[in-house]
Amino acid sequence: MAAIDTTGLTKEYGDLTAVDDLDLTVETGEVFGFLGPNGAGKSTTINMLLDFTRPTAGSATVLGYDAQTEADEISPRVGVLPEGFDIYPRLSGRRHVEFAIETKDAADDPDGILDRVGLSPDDAARPAGDYSKGMCQRLATGMALVGDPDVLIMDEPSSGLDPHGIREMQDLVRDEAERGTTIFFSSHILEHVEAVCDRIGVLHEGKLVAVDTIDGLRESIGGGATMELMLDEPASGLCDSVASIDGVADVDASGRTLECSVPEPSAKAEIVTTVDGAGATIRDVRIEDVSLESLFATLTNGESDGDTGAGRSVPPKAAETPEVSE
Amino acid sequence: MTGHIPTVARKEFEDAGRSKLLWALSGLLVAIVVVGYTAIWYTADDATASEVLGFLGFPLQTIVPIAALIVGYMAVVGERRSGSIKLLLGLPPNRTDVVFGKLVGRMAVVGVAVILAFLIALVLGAVFFGSVPIVDWLGFAAVTLLFGVSFAGLAVGVSAGVSSRGRSMALVVGTYMIFVALWELLTAGPYYLIHDEGPPVEAETWYLVLQQFNPMSAYTTLASNVVEGTVPPFTFQYGLEEFEAAQLTPAERYAGDAPFYLQDWFGAVVLVFWLVGPVAIGYYRFSRADL
């Protein structure tokens, strides 16, 4: 049974199609990255999984239960870290977790949960209205973990967190995955998705444009890494010996730089020993993975700009999913 | 499944209990009782505790609904706009639990404030006027409690049925204005247009039914039946109706034996109506809304 399954899931707001005929399957036990720029329809999709928003067409199931008609079966088995949520400013952090425990009829210890998400007992005793954005994020994560959910749905979990907090959150996701929790991880930031996910679905303008593993996605655009060796002497003499190594696709020498295209990761060490063994002096080695950014550009624009360097996040799109009004 | 209503209600009550606004409103209610009792004790020599209790009806009919509307009007829509409803609905409680949990929680808040005010009235009555009119007191407290929770329900219903805070406030304020300031214009006005004269004391039944459905006069009618003396309704008069008529209950204006829906006790049904109606509409709209 799939943890999450959508069939032709569509949401229209007037003329705007926020989610367009989405067919998505998340298998039990995997960490699934849901990637796309802001406004791509990620939150709208999640809102439909949780029955916050009703689809215009199509349907979705979570743990085999229909998201609309059997929502009451889903919520006790799922932990949700929503996007754009707020806490109850007058209630303490601890009371929030206690409330989650009451509603889930769980046996969790509130202090244990708060400790797991990095809220100190002092913080937990304070009204949540005093919390920073990051602390609210931690609190909501804690509430989502209550009752050891089968599926954890996290919408932009890293928002408001500092780099340290993001690492802690990623550790927590890996921990939960170890326990067998299925994780649906939505983000517009590639490196966050890349860091924890087994498979990635890329959403663009409401449409799913790719679903694959990270490696699979890399391969699909002729992936592999580029390795550059900066030498003390002209590099041209080394081309042939390096090119003969298994797992090296292409070698190019320009001046004192040897540029190798290496689809097979383990070949990298052999390149270094070969060059070193030939008596050359290596001043520096640079390795660049094919970035998901260029991959994303390929998927969404139908062309690759070949850029492998620059920023790693998907640039936000102007069109946000509109707020719903009646 | 609606098993989470008590959990949500408890959280609501606890949350509201930490609100300064609520404490201010309870304080105001208590202050009115204290000031009223003290003033009467100073000025009137021969007042009895049960008469003084009746005097409370006049300020209470204004303050209790305003307090209850303030307590309730943000209940659901406030969470919808802030986004905390996503945290709440992401947990097992569903929309039914949210609406009715909030309804119960906010009604409890209003109830506690009213009961507090009445307890103080009971003590002050004994201290200043030397008697404990327990039957009057119980009846009057019960009627006021119903009045308060009715308006709390009205406000929670509105808050569930709209998608913005502004709309909720506009509807709640507008409704209160209709009850207090515009009721005569809206009922006697059309009557005047139809008949070319204002409604007489013994008006047609449909007109009396309309009068019966004003929750303000429903409260004062009920209150007048349980305390000594009468509690006059505080509503704006435009002179479309004779002054005498405005002071009478629909049952008194009916020629002969009034049908059950015009009798005084029916005011309790009217108050329940203003609780149930808005909640039903608000719940219907909320359960179908995209959040």
Minimum distance, in Å, between the CA of residue B205 and any CA atom of chain A: 38
Per-residue model confidence (pLDDT) at position A309: 38
Per-residue model confidence (pLDDT) at position A224: 66
Cβ distance of A75 and B91 shorter than 8 Å: yes
Quick one: what percent of chain B has pLDDT higher than 70? 99
Contacts of residue B87 in chain A, CB cutoff 8 Å? 82, 85-87, 96, 140, 143
Per-residue model confidence (pLDDT) at position A308: 39
Does A299 have pLDDT greater than 80? Answer: no
Mean of the per-residue pLDDT values for chain A?
86
Cβ distance of B291 and A95 shorter than 8 Å: no
Residue A321 is given by DSSP the state: P
Per-residue model confidence (pLDDT) at position B228: 85
Mean of the per-residue pLDDT values for chain B?
92
Q: What mean pLDDT is predicted for residues A78-90?
A: 94
Bigger pLDDT: B8 vs A304: B8
Q: Which of A47, A71, A86 is facing B84, going by the closest CB pair?
A: A86
Answer whether B96 touches A (CB < 8 Å): no
Residue pLDDT, tens place only, A228-241: 899 988 888 888 88
Does B142 have pLDDT greater than 90? Answer: yes
Residue pLDDT, tens place only, A119-150: 999 999 999 999 999 999 999 999 999 999 99
Quick one: what percent of chain A has pLDDT higher than 70? 87
Residue pLDDT, tens place only, B96-113: 999 999 999 999 999 999
Residue pLDDT, tens place only, A248-277: 888 888 888 988 888 777 888 889 999 888
Which one, of B245, B13, B264, B276, lies nearest residue B139 by Cα? B264
Q: What mean pLDDT is predicted for residues B78-101?
A: 95
Contacts of residue A325 in chain B, CB cutoff 8 Å? 163-164
Q: Which of B4, B83, B289 is facing A326, going by the closest CB pair?
A: B289
Per-residue model confidence (pLDDT) at position A304: 38
Minimum distance, in Å, between the CA of residue A192 and any CA atom of chain B: 23
Residue pLDDT, tens place only, A194-217: 889 999 999 988 999 889 998 787
| Residue A164 in tokens | 């340290």
